C-alpha cells in the first residue's frame, strides 16, 4: 500500500511536471484563466441581449462548471497520449508499477487544476455579472464542482486512451470540449433541445452537475440535488473504468503487435 501511495502522489506529480514543463504564467493565465473569463462574459451578455428569459445565474453556473473541462479534457488527454508522442510510452509500459496508481496519480493534478479554473469562473461571474448566490450554498456548490471535475477528468482519460492509437488526439480533445459545450445544457436548456441531443447530453459528464449547480444557485438545499450529484459521480466512475480497461486492453495488444509506441 505504501508503494501504491508513493506512485500515486510522487509519481503523479513528477509525471505532471515532466509532461507539462512548458507551462509558464504567461501561457497559463491567458489560456486557463483568460479564456474562461471571456467565455462566461460572452454567453452571459449574449443571453441578456437575446432575451432568453434565463437570468445571469443560468449562464454563469453552466459555463463556470463547463470550463473545468479545459483542464480535465485537454490535460488528461495529454497526460496519457503525450507518452506516445514523446516516445516514453515503452519505458512506462515496461515498469512493473501498478497501472491504476500511475494514471490515477496523473489525474490528481489535473483534477486540482480543473477545480481552480472552475472556481475562477464563478468568481468572474460574481464580479462582472448579476450572479449573486446565497453564501450558504457555497459549500454545496464546491461539492458539485469537485464531482463534475472528477467526472470530466475521467472522460479525459477515455480520450487519452484513444490518443494512444490515433495520431491527431488534439482534434479529439478539441471536438470533445465543444461537444460538451453544446450537448450538456451549458447555454441551452436540455428541454428545448431535440430529443436525441438531450439523450446524448445526459450520458456525458457535466450535464447533471450543471443542473445541480443551477438549482443550488436558486436556493435549493444539498439534499434536494443529491440525486443529480450521485448521477454525475456515477457517470465519472463509468468513464474512469472504461478508460482504465481500454488502456489495459491496448497495452496487452501492444505486447502482441508492437504498435502502441509507434507514432
74-112 pLDDT, tens digit per residue, is 878 777 777 777 777 667 767 777 777 777 777 888 888
Average pLDDT, integer, range 106-133: 90
Mean pLDDT of the region 124-153: 92
Q: Is the pLDDT of residue 217 over 70?
A: yes
Residue 176 has pLDDT above 60, yes or no: yes
Model confidence at 243, pLDDT cuts 50, 70, 90, reads confident
Q: What is the average pLDDT across 162-174?
A: 73
| Lowest-pLDDT choice from 27-41, 70-84, 178-192, 233-247 | 70-84
Domain-wise residue ranges, the chain: 2-257
The answer on pLDDT for 20 being more than 70 is no
Model pLDDT for residues 57-80, shown as the tens digit of each residue: 999 999 999 999 888 888 787 777
pTM: 0.89
pLDDT, residue 77, reads 78
pLDDT of residue 15: 72
Say what the pLDDT of residue 254 is.
66
User: Which of 151, 171, 145, 150 lies closest to 74, judged by CA?
Assistant: 171
Is the model's pLDDT at 12 over the cut of 90? no
CA nearest 72: which of 205, 245, 261, 186? 205
Provide mean pLDDT across the span 194-212: 94
Which CA distances in Å does 103 have to 80, 117, 119, 196? 8, 21, 24, 33
Q: How far apart are CA 44 and CA 173, in angstroms?
A: 25
Percent of the chain with pLDDT over 90: 43
For residue 247, give Cα distances in angstroms to 20, 21, 114, 193, 195.
21, 24, 23, 34, 32
In which band, very low, low, confident or very high, does the pLDDT at 216 lie, cut at 50, 70 and 90? very high
218 φ/ψ angles, rounded to the nearest 5 degrees:
-85, 0
Task: Check: CB of residue 33 under 8 Å from CB of residue 127.
Answer: no
Question: How far apart (Å, rounded) are the C-alpha atoms in residues 212 and 64?
Answer: 13
Between 242 and 32, residue with greater pLDDT: 242
Q: Which residues contact 218 (CB under 8 A, 6 or more apart)?
A: 57
pLDDT band of residue 256 (cuts 50, 70, 90) is low
Mean of pLDDT values over 34-54: 88
Mean pLDDT score, 104-133: 89
Average pLDDT of the residues in 165-178: 78
Q: How confident is the model at residue 19 (pLDDT cuts 50, 70, 90)?
A: low
More confident residue, 16 or 133: 133
The pLDDT of residue 29 is 80
Amino acid at each position: 500500500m505504501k508503494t501504491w501511495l508513493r506512485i500515486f502522489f510522487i509519481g503523479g506529480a513528477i509525471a505532471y511536471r515532466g509532461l507539462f514543463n512548458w507551462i509558464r504564467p504567461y501561457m497559463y493565465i491567458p489560456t486557463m484563466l483568460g479564456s474562461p473569463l471571456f467565455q462566461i462574459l460572452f454567453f452571459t451578455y449574449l443571453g441578456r441581449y437575446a432575451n432568453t428569459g434565463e437570468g445571469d445565474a443560468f449562464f454563469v453556473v453552466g459555463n463556470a462548471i463547463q470550463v473545468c473541462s479545459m483542464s480535465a479534457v485537454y490535460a488528461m488527454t495529454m497526460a496519457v497520449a503525450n507518452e506516445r508522442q514523446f516516445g516514453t510510452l515503452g519505458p512506462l509500459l515496461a515498469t512493473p508499477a501498478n497501472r491504476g496508481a500511475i494514471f490515477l496519480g496523473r489525474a490528481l493534478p489535473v483534477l486540482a487544476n480543473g477545480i481552480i479554473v472552475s472556481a475562477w469562473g464563478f468568481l468572474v461571474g460574481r464580479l462582472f455579472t448579476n450572479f449573486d448566490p446565497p453564501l450558504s450554498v457555497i459549500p454545496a456548490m464546491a461539492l458539485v464542482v469537485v464531482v463534475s471535475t472528477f467526472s470530466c477528468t475521467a472522460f479525459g482519460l477515455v480520450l487519452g486512451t484513444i490518443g494512444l492509437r490515433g495520431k491527431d488526439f488534439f482534434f479529439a480533445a478539441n471536438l470533445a470540449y465543444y461537444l460538451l459545450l453544446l450537448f450538456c445544457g451549458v447555454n441551452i436548456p436540455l428541454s428545448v433541445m431535440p430529443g436525441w441531443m438531450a439523450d446524448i447530453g445526459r450520458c456525458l459528464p457535466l450535464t447533471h452537475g450543471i443542473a445541480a449547480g443551477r438549482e443550488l444557485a436558486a436556493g435549493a438545499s444539498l439534499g434536494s440535488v443529491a440525486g443529480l450529484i450521485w448521477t454525475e459521480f456515477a457517470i465519472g466512475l463509468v468513464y474512469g473504468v472504461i478508460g482504465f480497461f481500454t488502456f489495459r486492453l491496448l497495452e496487452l495488444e501492444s505486447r502482441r503487435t508492437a504498435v502502441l509506441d509507434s507514432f
